[in-house]
């Protein structure tokens, strides 16, 4: 079996997403909604591409999983920050749902950090689906406006996914990446 290199396209795309974060934050601070949504959209598209390419061409690495998780978290925080600053009225109107969403998102990471001294990178199928649902919400919100049913669908799907991550973060014995789902975890909870 050939040794995989960390220098590959998926890792480069994840690194791009991390490098883009200060620029995204700058657009938020400067109130540049159009540039903000463009950069967030590029981050979301590159997130899809890095995962697809890693799976399609068997380029997944442990470093790539960690880079992807850091880039995901940075993009997620940037998107939330963008909503809070650029769309404060919307955030105030929906603060309970958004606080619930953010709390459930952070809880599995907090538990993983407290238990293992590092953040998890589970990469569950539900997490991937939710990233698309959230990305679609953010992009369509800024371009087309608010859609009530989709917002609550996205919130519900996100909370269910975060509860799945929370369950795994609580019961996993050794932190590992790319678990797929709670069902895969339950089939082999002691795998290393």
Three-state secondary structure call for residue 124 = strand
How does 123-134 read in b/e, with b if 16+ C-beta sit within 10 Å? bbebbbebbebb
Rounded average pLDDT per 10-residue block, the chain, 192 residues: 70 94 97 94 89 85 85 90 93 95 94 93 91 90 93 97 96 89 87 61
Residue 63, CB-side half-sphere exposure with 13 Å CA sphere? 12
What's the pLDDT at 4? Answer: 66
Question: Cα(81)–Cα(135) distance, rounded to whole angstroms?
Answer: 14
φ, ψ for residue 126 (rounded to 5)?
-65, -35
Question: Cα(87)–Cα(84) distance, rounded to whole angstroms?
Answer: 6
What's the pLDDT at 6? Answer: 77
Question: Cα(150)–Cα(58) distance, rounded to whole angstroms?
Answer: 34
What's the pLDDT at 54? Answer: 84
What's the pLDDT at 51? Answer: 81
What's the pLDDT at 89? Answer: 94
Residue extents of the structural domains in the chain: 1-86, 88-192
User: Per DSSP, which regions of 7-139 are E strands?
Assistant: none
Three-state secondary structure call for residue 180 = strand
Q: What share of the chain is helix, strand, coil (3-state, %, to 5)?
A: 75, 0, 20
What's the pLDDT at 1? Answer: 33
74 within 8 A of 18, measured Cβ to Cβ: yes
């Amino acid at each position: 079996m050939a040794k995989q290199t960390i220098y590959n396209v998926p890792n480069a795309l994840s690194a791009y997403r991390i490098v883009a974060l200060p620029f995204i934050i700058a657009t938020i601070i400067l109130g540049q909604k159009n540039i903000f949504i463009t950069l967030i959209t590029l981050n979301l598209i590159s997130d899809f591409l890095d995962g697809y390419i890693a799976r399609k061409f068997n380029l997944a690495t442990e470093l790539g999983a960690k880079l992807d998780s850091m880039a995901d978290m940075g993009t997620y925080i940037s998107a939330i920050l963008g909503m809070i600053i650029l769309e404060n009225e919307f955030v105030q109107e929906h603060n309970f749902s958004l606080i619930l969403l953010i709390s459930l998102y952070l809880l599995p990471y907090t538990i993983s950090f407290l238990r293992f001294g590092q953040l998890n990178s589970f990469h569950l199928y539900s997490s991937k689906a939710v990233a698309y649902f959230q990305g679609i919400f953010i992009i369509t919100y800024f371009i087309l406006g608010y859609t009530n049913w989709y917002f609550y669908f996205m919130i519900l799907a996100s909370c269910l996914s975060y509860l799945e991550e929370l369950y795994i973060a609580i019961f996993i014995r050794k932190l590992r990446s790319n678990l797929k789902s709670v069902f895969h975890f339950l089939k082999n909870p002691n795998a290393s």
